[in-house]
């Protein structure tokens, strides 16, 4: 409305000026001149609005401040104001969308899985830091590179070419070595127009656990199958053959021996299961070292009398009277395993020394030293593995289950102790459990109590 009023004023003013000139065509020329002036002023407003819109269009950063809009009159001012409000709404939506995108990308960056976005041609559009570690990408340099040029595993390339993404594919990781193999599980998901999302996960620990589980089941099956086969054979013999009393007694003794072997194996398996699933031992239960020594010595002498015709030389030095904090049954199991192992693997007439030493820093050391055949250096790191044996035939002769040192390791870890193994072929072995000072205290005897008064 104001625009048309201004147009009318310009026309009337021009006509009045033309009429005052008193020429023949003065009024008409004045009206035309007024219209041209109005058009010129209107075009100035239009050009200012158009220049502002072009500046906004060429701007690199979104958002237009209110002060950037020029002062316009009439319909152009109203049009510019409405345009400014629309652009502000657009920019607000853009910034909100960008913020949500940044949050989404930050969430994918924090993902424990590797994430790679591929375009329709299989080129990398984006990847998170975990994918960089898994595949060895460079987050900046490798953008827009084809995935097949960077991941050259035949299994992966065949997987991507098949376009069958109903399952994953397992490939070696970028940092995989022979000494430390790394396994990656890669799963592709199609989305959009032929785009793909790759998810990768480090399954090295899972693969190792699965291998250990398979080995464990195989070892347990083998260890139980052997005595069962022997028992089945003896039972069949007793059932089918006429035996005299001496033969029956001998076979029954062998059957009892194999039954005891299976019972020992099951007991050790249950002990390991209880150690792995039980709570950490508290610090309020105390057991005297003298009681542990007495039990270990009794078991060692009984075992020595069975497996060694001439016996072993057994020396037990309980040292300073102390107490150890922890679960008595577990402590006895660990110490007894070390002592009985030393007796089993020390030849007839050999020496087994068992000592308890209170160290200067308050820690306590339980040490078992023998004069057996010793252990080669390559076997030492694996001695605490379940069912690992340096000499399988020798272990079966002495009645070992292959779980003793695994039990010792778990008990030591649960009590915050350290297991040390020293051995040389031909010079015997030395096994030590060093308990932390927090779990060891001197036992105050009656004499020391009276002396302190």
pLDDT at residue 418 above 60? yes
pLDDT digits (tens, 9 = 90+) for 125-172: 999 999 999 999 987 888 889 999 999 899 999 999 988 898 999 999
pLDDT at 67: 45
Q: Which of 28-32, 151-155, 230-234 has the highest mean pLDDT?
A: 151-155
pLDDT at 220: 76
* Structure-model confidence comparison of residues 4 and 335, the more confident one: 335
* Structure-model confidence comparison of residues 26 and 122, the more confident one: 122
Tell me if the pTM is above 0.85. Answer: no
pLDDT at residue 291 above 70? yes
pLDDT at 448: 46
pLDDT at 447: 45
- Cα separation, 217 vs 219, in Å, equals 5
Question: What tokens appear for 41 in the block?
Answer: 């002023």
pLDDT at 283: 79
Equal fold, 111-202 vs 282-453: no
pLDDT at residue 32 above 70? no
CATH number of 207-278: 1.10.287.130
pLDDT at 159: 92
What's the whole-number average pLDDT of the chain? Answer: 81
Architecture of the domain spanning 282-453: 2-Layer Sandwich (3.30)
Architecture of the domain spanning 111-202: 2-Layer Sandwich (3.30)
Task: Pick the range with the lowest mean pLDDT from 73-77, 116-120, 331-335.
Answer: 73-77
Which residues make beta-bridge pairs with 185? 170, 201
- Reported residue count of the chain is 453
Contacts 24+ apart (CB under 8 A), 310-314: 310/348, 310/349, 311/348, 311/349, 312/343, 312/346, 312/348, 312/349, 312/350, 312/351, 312/352, 313/349, 313/350, 313/351, 313/352, 314/343, 314/352, 314/354
pLDDT at 197: 93
- DSSP letters spanning 20-51: HTT-TTHHHHHHHHHHHHHHHHHHHHHHHHHH
Question: What tokens appear for 194 in the block?
Answer: 């032929």
pLDDT digits (tens, 9 = 90+) for 372-411: 889 988 888 888 888 777 765 554 555 567 788 998 999 9
Domain ranges of the chain: 2-104, 111-202, 207-278, 282-453
pLDDT digits (tens, 9 = 90+) for 245-258: 888 888 888 888 78
pLDDT band at 437 (very low <50, low <70, confident <90, very high): very high
């Amino acid at each position: 409305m104001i625009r048309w009023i201004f147009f009318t004023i310009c026309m009337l003013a021009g006509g009045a000026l033309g009429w005052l000139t008193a020429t023949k065509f003065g009024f008409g020329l004045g009206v035309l001149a007024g219209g041209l002036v109005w058009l010129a002023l209107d075009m100035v407003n239009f050009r200012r609005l158009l220049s502002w819109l072009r500046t906004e269009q060429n701007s690199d950063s979104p958002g237009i401040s209110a002060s950037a809009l020029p002062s316009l009159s009439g319909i152009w001012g109203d049009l510019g104001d409405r345009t400014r409000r629309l652009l502000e709404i657009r920019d607000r939506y853009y910034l909100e969308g960008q913020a949500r995108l940044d949050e989404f990308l930050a969430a994918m960056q924090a993902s424990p899985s590797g994430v790679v976005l591929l375009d329709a041609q299989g080129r990398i559009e984006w990847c998170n830091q975990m994918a960089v570690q898994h595949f060895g990408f460079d987050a900046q340099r490798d953008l827009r590179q084809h995935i097949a040029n960077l991941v050259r595993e035949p299994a992966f390339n065949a997987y991507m070419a098949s376009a069958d993404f109903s399952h994953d594919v397992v490939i070696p990781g970028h940092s995989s070595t022979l000494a430390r193999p790394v396994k990656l599980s890669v799963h592709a998901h199609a989305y959009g127009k032929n785009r793909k999302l790759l998810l990768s996960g480090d399954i090295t620990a899972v693969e190792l656990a699965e291998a250990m589980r398979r080995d464990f089941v195989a070892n347990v099956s083998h260890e139980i199958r052997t005595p069962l086969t022997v028992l089945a054979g003896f039972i069949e013999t007793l059932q089918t053959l006429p035996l005299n009393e001496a033969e029956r007694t001998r076979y029954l003794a062998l059957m009892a021996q194999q039954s005891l072997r299976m019972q020992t194996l099951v007991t050790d398996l249950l002990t390991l299961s209880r150690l792995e699933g039980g709570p950490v031992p508290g610090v309020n239960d105390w057991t005297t070292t003298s009681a542990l020594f007495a039990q270990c010595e009794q078991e060692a002498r009984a075992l020595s009398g069975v497996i060694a015709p001439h016996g072993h030389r057994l020396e037990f030095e309980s040292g300073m009277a102390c107490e150890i904090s922890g679960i008595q049954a577990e402590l006895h199991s660990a110490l007894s395993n070390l002592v009985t192992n030393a007796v089993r693997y020390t030849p007839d007439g050999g020496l087994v020394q068992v000592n308890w030493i209170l160290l200067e820093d308050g820690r306590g050391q339980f040490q078992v030293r023998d004069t057996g055949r010793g252990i080669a250096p390559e076997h030492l790191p694996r001695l605490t593995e379940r069912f690992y044996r340096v000499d399988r035939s020798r272990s079966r002769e002495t009645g070992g289950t292959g779980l003793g040192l695994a039990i010792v390791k778990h008990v030591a870890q649960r009590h915050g102790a350290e297991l040390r193994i020293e051995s040389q072929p031909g010079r015997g072995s030395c096994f030590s459990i060093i308990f932390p000072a927090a779990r060891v205290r001197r036992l105050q005897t009656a004499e020391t109590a009276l002396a302190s008064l």
